[in-house]
């Protein structure tokens, strides 16, 4: 097996460069400013979206965005934890360079004065604004969300986020709890609202204010909290997903031959009152099947609620006159396990934790229409209009009949939705992407200087990238007439993620160890065919790994085992393959960069 990257065809590279310059020239000649950027980050979002082929999901607004964009189907984070992931993709540096594997250090003090994505735009004349959760708040962003380096004004955080760990989830007899599963009546919540509603309202007002002064392009980053736990959302969204339609994860038991060091005991769930009440054993559980279904149902409902906020945001982008000249990027900061492998939350190197959706819209490029619209679509009305009409009919006499009508309509709706999805012409790339690629990609698409590749010792270099610009991939896919699974361009042949552990066996701090407690680092590499992982000795004082001290190895054959349920690393018949993959893993990301 070869996983070496090849050089990109020079003529194609030159062609794409000319086309992008032409696009920028067209915008300038039309009397418009540089393209603005709307950067949407969604917390804990796996590719559980209609546009990613999940016919159960009701996400009409993100699906609509995808029809006008390039959808990247194989995008991976560098670490499946909020703080390290966001610091990584906003600086375009990997965790071993930012020296951030937890929430308790600030890269400008711990590693280097690295320029961030919004800072790069600010330094090139953009007004930059952060709304909601973009950087991880607190120590990891200097207690200021990296203001004033990255932002023109201080970041906005919704005040109702203060109740993330509060007892606000309604329960029996009028009591309230701090639960995972938390459908609520919005007006009854503290502040009469929810964080993502407040973030969306602030961002909509931002568009209104900017429309009065359109002389300066903007970089607006909006971070939505849901579907991060608690799964707190307006209760009507739960009706989109009848419990009898929810299924357990395909492989929801402990994987065969999984090394114990790879296991995450999902301690964040165990802090919640409803999970505590299940009296689960530590560290393996498992969660009862009934509650697995309830958590999956609420994750989907919270995702549809988030989709509604995205839709209202995009609708405002158009209403205030920015949609024809704004690059839109939507990305998840990492995935989330929904019972796969008997695990929950993130904190691992499994596909469900490190793979995220990535959708990039470039007006005039990914969508050729001269007037780009993002009309809001209410997820609730997508399903319930027909049901409500039946409910008002005099023919409906009993509650039983109402339930039967609803069940039948959901069945009919899902059939129709599957057909609609199969007919849609999404522009799809199956090329392997990493979130460190975002910085150079967005810079090139906007016509800004593209950071050069970081040298092996990058700590004194303020502006460089440990990713690659995917602008040429976007350009190539956009110039096809239909969905395209492969661009034909030479691109990276592997992507890399990692996760730290304090010990071989699971313990209370296995999910989120502080830097001083990290003793093992799990380095994982994903190719088109395989996922290969080595858990090796790590020194938190020097940030060095010892490849010769291995505590566990994983090998998953993606073509025959897409759920990563059977670890094949210990079979002698795969020794040669394991050796080949191990060599590239040790060589690292530089060995597979397109040049």
Separation between Cα atoms, residue 181 and residue 169, nearest integer Å: 8
Measure the CA dihedral 221/226/230/235, to 10°.
140
Amino acid 72: pLDDT: 97
Q: Read off the tokens for 180.
A: 């995972």
Find all residues with CB under 8 Å of 553, minimum gap 6, and list them: 259, 533, 534, 535, 569, 570, 578
Q: Are 479 and 467 in contact (CB under 8 A)?
A: no
Q: Read off the tokens for 468.
A: 């690659």
Separation between Cα atoms, residue 440 and residue 188, nearest integer Å: 44
Residue pLDDT, tens place only, 195-231? 999 999 999 999 999 988 778 999 999 999 999 999 9
Separation between Cα atoms, residue 39 and residue 455, nearest integer Å: 28
Catalytic residue among 136, 225, 228, 252: 136
Element of type H or E holding 433: strand 427-434
Of 526, 535, 536, the C-alpha closest to 564 is 526
pLDDT at 6 over 50: no
Of 405, 255, 246, 257, the C-alpha closest to 343 is 255
Provide the β-strand partners of residue 536.
521, 550
Buried b (16+ CB within 10 A) or exposed e, 38-64: bbbbbbbbbbbbbbbebbbbbbbbbbb
Q: Are 130 and 151 in contact (CB under 8 A)?
A: yes
Number of Cβ within a 10 Å radius of residue 338 = 20
pLDDT at 395 over 60: no
Separation between Cα atoms, residue 366 and residue 528, nearest integer Å: 25
Could you give phi then psi for residue 551, rounded to 5 degrees?
A: -105, -5
Residue pLDDT, tens place only, 54-106? 999 999 999 999 999 999 999 999 999 999 999 999 999 999 999 999 999 99
Residue pointed to by tokens 């950087």: 135
Catalytic residue among 51, 82, 182, 454: 82
Amino acid 368: pLDDT: 81
Amino acid 488: pLDDT: 55
Q: What is the mean pLDDT of the chain?
A: 89
pLDDT at 416 over 70: no
Find all residues with CB under 8 Å of 292, minimum gap 6, and list them: 248, 249, 252, 339
Amino acid 1: pLDDT: 40
Residue pointed to by tokens 């109402």: 402
Average pLDDT over every residue of 485-507? 87
Q: Domain 10-479+488-592 has what CATH class?
A: alpha beta
Residue pLDDT, tens place only, 97-152? 999 999 999 999 999 999 999 999 999 999 999 999 999 999 999 999 999 999 99
Number of Cβ within a 10 Å radius of residue 294 = 19
Q: Read off the tokens for 431.
A: 């090329």
pLDDT at 405 over 50: no
Separation between Cα atoms, residue 158 and residue 139, nearest integer Å: 19
Question: Using H for helix, E for strand and C for coil, what is the string for 537-576?
Answer: EEECCCCEEEEEEEEEEEEEECCCCCCCCECCCCCHHHHH
- Number of helices (H) and strands (E), helices first, in the chain? 16, 17
Percent above pLDDT 90 for the chain: 82
Element of type H or E holding 296: helix 289-319
Percent above pLDDT 70 for the chain: 86
Number of Cβ within a 10 Å radius of residue 143 = 11
Q: How big is the chain, counted in residues? A: 595
Listed in order, strand segments (DSSP E) in 86-201 are: 127-132, 169-170, 176-177, 181-184
| Angstrom distances, CA of residue 348 to CA of 30, 96, 521 | 48, 17, 11
Average pLDDT over every residue of 333-352? 98
Separation between Cα atoms, residue 146 and residue 277, nearest integer Å: 39
Q: Kindly state the greatest CA–CA separation across the chain.
A: 75
Q: How far is CA 192 from the centre of its chain?
A: 28
Number of Cβ within a 10 Å radius of residue 475 = 24
SS3 23: helix
Amino acid 382: pLDDT: 76
Is 6 assigned a catalytic role? no
pLDDT at 159 over 60: yes
pLDDT at 28 over 50: no
Provide the β-strand partners of residue 441.
none
pLDDT at 185 over 80: yes
Q: Read off the tokens for 332.
A: 């998840």
Could you give phi then psi for residue 465, rounded to 5 degrees?
A: -130, 145
Separation between Cα atoms, residue 317 and residue 275, nearest integer Å: 40
Provide the β-strand partners of residue 553.
534
Instruction: Mark residue 310 as left, alpha or beta (left: phi above 0; alpha: psi -120 to 50; beta: remaining).
Output: alpha
Is 136 assigned a catalytic role? yes
């Amino acid at each position: 097996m070869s996983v070496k990257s090849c050089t990109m065809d020079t003529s194609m590279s030159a062609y794409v460069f000319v086309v992008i310059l032409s696009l920028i020239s067209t915008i300038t000649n039309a009397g418009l400013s540089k393209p603005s950027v709307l950067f949407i980050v969604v917390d804990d979002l796996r590719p559980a979206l209609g546009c990613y082929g999940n016919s159960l999901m009701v996400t009409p607004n993100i699906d609509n965005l995808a029809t006008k964009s390039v959808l990247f189907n194989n995008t991976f984070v560098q670490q499946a934890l909020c703080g390290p992931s966001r610091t990584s993709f906003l600086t375009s540096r990997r965790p071993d360079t930012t020296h951030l594997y937890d929430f308790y250090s600030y890269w400008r003090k711990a590693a280097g004065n690295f320029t961030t994505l919004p800072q790069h735009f600010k330094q090139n004349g953009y007004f930059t604004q952060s709304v909601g959760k973009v950087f991880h708040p607190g120590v990891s962003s200097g207690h200021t969300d990296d203001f004033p380096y990255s932002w023109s004004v201080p970041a906005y955080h919704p005040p109702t986020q203060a109740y993330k760990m509060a007892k606000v989830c309604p329960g029996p007899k009028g009591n309230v709890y701090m639960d995972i599963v938390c459908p609520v009546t919005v007006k009854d919540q503290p502040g009469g609202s929810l964080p993502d509603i407040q973030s969306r309202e602030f961002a909509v007002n931002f568009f209104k204010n900017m429309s009065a002064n359109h002389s300066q392009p903007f970089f607006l980053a909006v971070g939505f909290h849901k579907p991060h736990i608690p799964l707190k959302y307006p209760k009507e969204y739960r009706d989109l997903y009848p419990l009898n339609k929810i299924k357990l994860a395909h492989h929801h038991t402990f994987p065969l031959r999984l090394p114990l060091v790879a296991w995450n005991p999902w301690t964040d769930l165990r802090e919640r009152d409803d999970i505590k009440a299940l009296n689960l054993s530590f560290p393996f559980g498992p969660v009862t099947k009934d509650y697995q279904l309830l958590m999956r149902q609420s994750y989907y409902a919270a995702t549809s609620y988030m989709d509604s906020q995205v839709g209202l945001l995009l609708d405002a982008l158009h209403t205030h006159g920015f949609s024809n000249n704004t690059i839109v990027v939507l990305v998840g900061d990492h995935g989330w396990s929904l019972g796969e492998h008997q695990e929950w939350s993130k904190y691992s190197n499994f596909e469900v934790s490190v793979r995220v959706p990535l959708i990039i819209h470039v007006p005039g490029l990914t969508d050729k229409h001269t007037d780009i619209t993002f009309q809001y679509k209410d997820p609730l009305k997508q399903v319930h209009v027909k049901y409500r009409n039946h409910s008002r009919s005099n023919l409906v006499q009993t509650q039983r009949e109402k339930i039967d009508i609803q069940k039948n309509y959901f069945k009919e709706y899902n059939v129709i939705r599957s057909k609609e999805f199969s007919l849609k012409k999404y522009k799809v790339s199956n090329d392997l992407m990493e979130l460190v690629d975002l910085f150079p990609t967005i810079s090139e698409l906007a016509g800004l200087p593209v950071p050069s590749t970081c040298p092996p010792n990058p700590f004194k270099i303020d502006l460089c990238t440990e990713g690659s610009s995917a602008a040429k991939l976007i350009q190539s896919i956009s110039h096809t007439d239909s969905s395209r699974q492969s661009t034909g361009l030479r691109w990276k042949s592997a992507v890399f993620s990692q996760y730290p552990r304090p010990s071989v066996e699971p313990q209370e701090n296995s999910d989120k160890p502080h830097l001083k407690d990290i003793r093992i680092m799990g380095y994982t590499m994903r190719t088109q065919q395989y996922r290969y992982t080595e858990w090796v000795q790590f020194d938190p004082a020097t940030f060095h790994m010892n490849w010769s001290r291995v505590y566990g190895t994983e090998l998953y054959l993606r073509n025959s085992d897409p759920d990563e349920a059977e670890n094949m690393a210990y079979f002698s018949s795969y020794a040669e393959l394991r050796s080949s993959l191990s060599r590239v893993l040790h060589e690292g990301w530089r060995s597979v960069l397109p040049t």
